[in-house]
A and B are shown apart, each in its own frame.
Chain A
Amino acid sequence: MNRVHLTRRQLTTLVVVGVLLIAAIVLPYVATSYYVTIATLVLASALLASSVNMLAGDAGLYSLGHAGIAAAAGYGLAWSSRQGMGLAAQLGMALLLTLIASVIYGLISMRTSGVFFLMVTLAAGMICFGMAYRWSSVTGGDNGLTGIRRPELLSEYWQYYFFVLAVFVIATLALRGLSASPFGLTLRGIRDSQTRMRSLGYSVPAYKFAAMVLSGLLAGVAGVLLVWQNEFVSPASSSFQASALALVMVVLGGVGRTFGPLIGATVVVLIQQVLSTYVDRWPTVLGVLFIVVVIVKESGGVRRLREMLQRRRPSAPARPTPEY
């Protein structure tokens, strides 16, 4: 029988995660409903950011259009809800639209990478936005669709919060599993060198397509959660700003890191919703913060910081910073 042997780092991570979880569970009992609603928004946004993070971290593909897929799911849910369909049908519709969007995104992007991938996804996102905006007989156009009610069981703000928390935890675990799986390994191989993978016989476009579809499914889940949160949907959910913010969250939190999206989402949502009450120029704050983080990460600032801290504890091995 082997003893459970954890490195100090793994133990720290476990403890931190444990503390976070306990804090998350206790939150509704100590904070007002406003802050719990903010926390729910953070979790749902983090889920969308996670879908972007999956592609960026594992496959090295940065998407500027994922809000489009999330919105497709949201509109599917909203529209069928307004038609009076039952819950199963609503979710089915959301799933269907998510798949259609993800497949189209995948098909047009699977042969591109780097900046081109960015632009293709941007274009796809804008097309989703255009549809949401123009197809007003179905989508309500600029007014959007209101009055979308959550299922009975989740109607209270704290019930919904726990639900979203649970979904987030499960999704994060699933993403970690995916990352550690052979599929994840292949994706990272593609990220590092497409030519090498091709010479090894892998069909690079097929893997990218699959990754996009999986990522899209997660984005769809996030989309449904966001619609249930606000109880309405509008073209703003699929806008360039929405997609850009998701990417900002990923970068702020650290590309490829498991909790990166959560950290990024917390920072962005707090600035957007809470700081904005006190500071008029909050977009500047967010923009500057974003630039600083990108530059510092690139010039190895994080590594230098780590080295400074670790000079006191030479036994802990330095973890290499992830490559973009």
Chain B
Amino acid sequence: MFFLQQTLNGLSFGALLFLVASGFTLVFGLMRISNLAHGGFYIVGAYVALTTVALTANFWFGLLAGALAAAVVGFAVERGLLRRVRNREMPEVLVTVGVLFVIADLVLAIFGGDPKSVGLSGAPRGALVVGDFAYPWYRLFIIGVTLVIGVGMFLLQRYTRIGAIVRAGVDNREMTVSVGINVDRVFTGVFVFGAALAGIAGAIGSGLLSLNPSSGTEILLFAMVVVIIGGLGSIPGAAIGAAFIGLVDAFAKVWLPEFSYFTVFAPMALVLVFRPYGLLGRPA
């Protein structure tokens, strides 16, 4: 039973990571941008959700508001800043570092540094109890929501035109452009979608993990590890990577508490060295 609980702990944390990582990997795979501001989108989503729930006492409104806010910020960043350094790998990354800095500080200025969490009115509370086994509903809810979103994204990619365009863009950018598709608009769309995903993750995650301005960097680092291991641009890869890291994190805390950073970052470093495109990624 202990084993089952820890497995579910790992999977629920992994589910949250998947939400964050999938946005990151989409942008990485399609636009070759390592968007370090992604962590910033997470906390924007979280804080806006928090405020909305405090005002409306409705969890779902909060979720929506968080996603929207993150999407808007994402749009502004992509259009206003990243456009000006398009196709230059390093400057893009550097700009996103700057954005993360600014977002973290502004969030601090507006909301203060206290740890906060999304009030759970409207969201599942309490635990699933089966005999001796108790497990919080909220964590199961996270796994459920993530599965829905994940499957939804996969179907989108596979069976819709937009999905095809995105896949084409990931596989071969030049060809896609030469076929006449307005790649710029697709890029913006994907970027905004990724930001929205981070926002949702932030809104949900803060119901689980409590929130402060450094949460952005923390979750970002985890997301990067997941994306590297899972592979660029690969949603299934992100899912596998997220589940893997979530489980590793959960069990390492029990069996190897002294090595928490090793257990998460060492696999990332190894993958980068031996299989730089990740388990399911493909070179551009």
Contact = CB atoms under 8 A, between A and B. Distances in A.
Interface of A: 62, 108-109, 111-112, 114-116, 118-120, 122-124, 126-127, 129-131, 133-135, 240, 244, 247-248, 251, 280-281, 283-284, 286-288, 290-291, 294-295, 297-299, 324
A116 B81 contact: no
A130 B102 contact: no
Contacts of B93: 62, 115, 118
B-side interface mostly = helix
Bin chain B's interface residue count: 35 or more
B248 interface: no
A295 B82 CA distance: 9
B258 A134 contact: yes
A280 B109 contact: yes
Interface string B110-148: 000000000000000000000000000000000000000
Interface of B: 32, 34, 81, 84-85, 88-91, 93-95, 97-102, 104-106, 109, 217, 221, 224-225, 228, 258-262, 265-266, 268-270, 272-273, 276
Nearest to A104: B269
Given A130-B260, A284-B106, A291-B99, A123 B265 contact: yes
8 contacts: A62-B90, A108-B273, A114-B89, A115-B34, A118-B93, A122-B221, A247-B97, A290-B98
B105 A294 contact: no
A244 B104 CA distance: 14
Contacts of B260: 130, 134
A139 to B, nearest CB: 12
A109 B272 CA distance: 8
Contacts of B32: 115
Report which residue of A119, A120, A123, A134 has the largest number of chain B beta carbons within 10 angstroms of its beta carbon.
A123
A278 to B, nearest CB: 16
Nearest to B77: A291
Contacts of A111: 273, 276
Contacts of B272: 108, 112, 116, 119-120, 123
Closest 8 CB pairs of A and B: A130-B261, A287-B101, A287-B102, A291-B98, A283-B105, A290-B98, A123-B269, A123-B265
A324 B105 contact: no
A130 B98 contact: no
Contacts of B259: 130, 134
Contacts of A286: 101
A152 to B, nearest CB: 38
Given A284-B101, A287-B98, 8 more contacts: A108-B272, A111-B276, A116-B272, A123-B272, A127-B261, A284-B106, A287-B101, A324-B89
Contact of B95 (A123, A131, A281, A291): A291
A197 B272 CA distance: 22
Contact of B262 (A62, A127, A291): A127
A255 B260 CA distance: 35
A290 B97 contact: yes
Given A116-B276, A129-B261, A295-B84, A283 B104 contact: yes
A134 B261 contact: yes
